[in-house]
Amino acid sequence: MVAALASWLDARAHGGQWLVRIEDVDTSRCVPGMDQVILQQLSACGLHPDAPPVWQSQRSGLYQQTLDQLVARGLAYPCACSRKDIETALSSLGQGRARHGELIYPGTCRTGLHGKASRAWRLRTDVYASNQPLALVLPAQVATQSIANIIIHWTDRRLGAQQQDVAAEVGDFVLKRADGCFAYQLAVVVDDAAQGVTDVVRGEDLADNTARQILLQQCLGLPTPRYLHTPLVRGVDGEKLSKQNGAEAMGTSDPLAALNNAAGFLGLPVCAGSVAKALGVWVSVWRGSMVF
Full set of structural domains in the chain with CATH: 1-58+253-292 (3.40.50.620), 59-192+209-222 (3.40.50.620)
β-pair partners for 163: 153
* 117-131, 193-207, 228-242, 255-269, range with the lowest pLDDT: 228-242
Residue 194 is classified by DSSP as H
What is the C-alpha separation between 149 and 278, in angstroms, rounded? 48
Alpha-carbon distances, residue 20 vs 11, 187, 202 (angstroms): 12, 14, 12
235 Cβ contact list (under 8 Å, min separation 6): 241, 245, 247
Cβ contacts of 98-106, under 8 Å, gap ≥ 24: 98/169, 99/169, 99/170, 100/208, 103/171, 104/168, 104/169, 104/170, 104/171, 105/81, 105/170, 105/171, 105/172, 105/173, 106/171
pLDDT level of residue 223 (50, 70, 90 thresholds): very high
pLDDT level of residue 247 (50, 70, 90 thresholds): very low
pLDDT level of residue 151 (50, 70, 90 thresholds): confident
Mean pLDDT over 139-162 rounds to 70
122 close to 76: Cβ distance less than 8 angstroms: yes
What is the C-alpha separation between 119 and 230, in angstroms, rounded? 35
Query: Would you state the pLDDT for residue 96?
Result: 57
Average per-residue pLDDT in the chain?
A: 85
More confident residue, 252 or 80: 80
Instruction: Return the percentage of the chain with pLDDT > 90, whole number.
Output: 67
Asked whether the predicted pLDDT for residue 291 surpasses 90, the reply is no
Give the count of beta carbons closer than 10 Å to the beta carbon of residue 273: 10
Asked whether the predicted pLDDT for residue 207 surpasses 50, the reply is yes
Mean pLDDT over 209-223 rounds to 95
Asked whether the predicted pLDDT for residue 255 surpasses 90, the reply is yes
Asked whether the predicted pLDDT for residue 214 surpasses 90, the reply is yes
* 142-146, 176-180, 220-224, range with the lowest pLDDT: 142-146
| Residue 153 burial (10 A CB sphere; 0-12, 13-18, 19+) | exposed
* 127-141, 177-191, 195-209, range with the lowest pLDDT: 127-141
Asked whether the predicted pLDDT for residue 183 surpasses 50, the reply is yes
pLDDT level of residue 89 (50, 70, 90 thresholds): confident
What is the C-alpha separation between 171 and 164, in angstroms, rounded? 11
Inter-helix orientation angle 2-13/255-265, to 10°: 80
Query: Would you state the pLDDT for residue 162?
Result: 96
The H-assigned helical ranges of 50-172 are: 60-72, 83-92, 139-142, 166-169
Task: Write the DSSP string, 101-113.
Answer: TB--B--TTTT--
**HSE on the CB side for 152, CA within 13 Å?**
26
Asked whether the predicted pLDDT for residue 6 surpasses 60, the reply is yes
Asked whether the predicted pLDDT for residue 263 surpasses 80, the reply is yes
More confident residue, 150 or 155: 155
**pLDDT tens per residue across span 61-78:** 999 999 999 999 999 999
Report the DSSP pairing between strands 120-123 and 174-176: antiparallel
Asked whether the predicted pLDDT for residue 131 surpasses 80, the reply is no
